[in-house]
Amino acid sequence: MSKIIVTGGAGYIGSHTIVDLIEHGYDVVSVDNFSRSGEAVFEGIKAITGRNVKNYKANLCEEGEVRKIFDKEIDVAGVIHFAAFKSVSESVEFPMKYYENNLYSLINVLKCMKDYSIQNLVFSSSCSVYGNINSLPVTESTPLAKPECPYAATKQMGEQMIMDFSKMSESNSILLRYFNPVGAHPSAVIGETPYDKPNNLVPVITQTAIGLQKKMYVWGGDYETRDGSCVRDYIHVMDIAAAHTLALDYLISHKNESRCEIFNVGSGNGVSVFEAIASFEKVSGFKLNYEKGPRRPGDVVAIYANNQLISERLGWIPRFTLDDMMESAWAWEKKMAGK
């Protein structure tokens, strides 16, 4: 089995990707210091896959700690780098924390990949790199606009670092620009566990429905969209996980056409906030308590993907519908609440 190091392996997308990797024959080593996650997720991964996953509790911003891991783990075929802070609103409030954490950790991983001759990297990027754009859907060649928040800026900078790194090393890289991950594993054994108060739409919806929040707000109901709310491309977390496994397969099989390639990971459908709420209400039978609020700093108006390239090159096709995403997210929320 090819050994893969997954940074941020206890996180939302990282944990689901570990499940997909194991199910496709990979040996996985995780690195996560649990600053935004918990150890219990590895019990969930074991329940699904039957495998214990080794995790190094390390701070990737400390180069010495990163090198100790790469010293111990030999014959590593690739790295998937998830580890990063990801809240738009928090990054606006604490920009230096985001620049330090998201960039230093990536720099140290790239240094070790070069020094330990690790050939393949899949980077967790984001549709936020596109900023507010004038033409939809976005393709991988859509010019990047000014980032709307420090989080998005760190993803733009991270991509540029990897592009430059690829020019002076033997490594091959894929940048996966995924859109809005939602949902949980179909077993409801693992899912999204927000750090502190959630900022992403779906956990806000499910926490409101379960009673953890009395009311939710739709931030900005006056945008120039079909119903006034922001439009996003929601994609099931297991579809995103599958894209990472396919990206590794692609690199390890030497199918890449250049040292660094970029793929959008999205459903290709733009869904408004009100449409997402309607989907949840349909599958859950629960009427949400919500109202419109002011626009939120850092939010783009509308964005959704053209996913033709990843379909053609990697054979990736999303399997889950919006209703599937909401149903699995609701099953996970109810399980966490013991209902």
As annotated, the active-site residues are 151
Among candidate residues 151, 149, 64, 153, the one with its CA nearest the CA of residue 115: 64
What does each C-alpha distance from 166 to 61, 111, 159, 258, 260 come to in angstroms? 21, 12, 11, 9, 6
Phi, psi (deg, nearest 5) at residue 17: -70, -40
d(CA 277, CA 219): 13
**Helix-helix angle 95-115:150-167, to 10 degrees:** 20
**Residue 293 β-bridge partners:** 219
Which DSSP state fits 142? Answer: S
d(CA 144, CA 159): 11
Helix (H) or strand (E) holding 314: helix 308-314
* Sign of the alpha-carbon torsion through 253, 166, 246, 55: positive
d(CA 262, CA 245): 15
Compute the C-alpha angle 210/211/215, nearest 5°: 115
